[in-house]
Amino acid sequence: MNEPTVSQSGITDVTFGKNVKIVQPSNLYGCSIGDDCSIGPFVEIQNDVTIGRGCKIQSHAFICELVTIGDNCFISHGAKFINDLFQSGKPAGGDKTKWRSTNIGNNVSIGTNATILPVSITDNVVVGAGAVVARDITESGTYVGNPAKKVRA
């Protein structure tokens, strides 16, 4: 019988600010979490992610490499960030030169099961539940749908 290779989830090589709360199980590695943040269970935050102060990351969120999140942001349950656009028609795999970064401003709320492609989102934005953000958001407001469109200032 073949035996699988088993990796443990956990918290490794993370820089924490003051008063950070984490609910286990969570998988955080090679990232930076600012002061007064709260991380829910079943969250993965990968290498080279920076999360600002006062953020709340809800359960089952996935924040991949090359994401920067500003201060006082809310990332709801099941929100997913993507850094690989499959430009060659398949996953880039370990070729990080094909990955792209995502920058989230301050006071941004991202709804349940939203998907955020490699984009920039300005300050004071609400992304609705289930929205797919495929283009930069340069104006504050509320964005919903697939692709996400502004519905309210």
90 Cβ neighbours under 8 A, 6+ residues apart: none
Q: Is the pTM of this model over 0.85?
A: yes
* pLDDT tens readout for residues 132-147: 999 999 999 999 999 9
* pLDDT tens readout for residues 62-115: 999 999 999 999 999 999 999 998 888 888 888 888 999 999 999 999 999 999
Give me the residue spans of the domains in the chain. 11-87+96-152
Q: Which fold has domain 11-87+96-152?
A: UDP N-Acetylglucosamine Acyltransferase; domain 1 (2.160.10)
Q: What angle do CA 13, 106, 21 make, to 5 degrees?
A: 40
Q: What angle do CA 124, 127, 131 make, to 5 degrees?
A: 160
